[in-house]
Amino acid sequence: MKQTIIKVFFLATAAITARKDGSRNIKNTVIYTSLSSI
């Protein structure tokens, strides 16, 4: 249960970061998302 909440929070944070920094950081967002799902 905790892991699911953390994943959702992480995805939201990543999405906000991607919007702020623009498309150049989408790669980093994808990498972090992949790491968080392991």
pTM of the entire structure? 0.43
pLDDT at 38: 54
What was the pLDDT predicted at 1?
66
pLDDT of 16 strictly over 60: yes
What are the backbone angles phi and psi of residue 28, rounded to the nearest 5°? -60, -40
HSE at residue 10, side-chain half, CA atoms within 13 A, is 16
Answer yes or no: is pLDDT of 20 > 60: yes
Number of structural domains in the chain: 1
In terms of residue numbers, what domain contains 24? 2-37
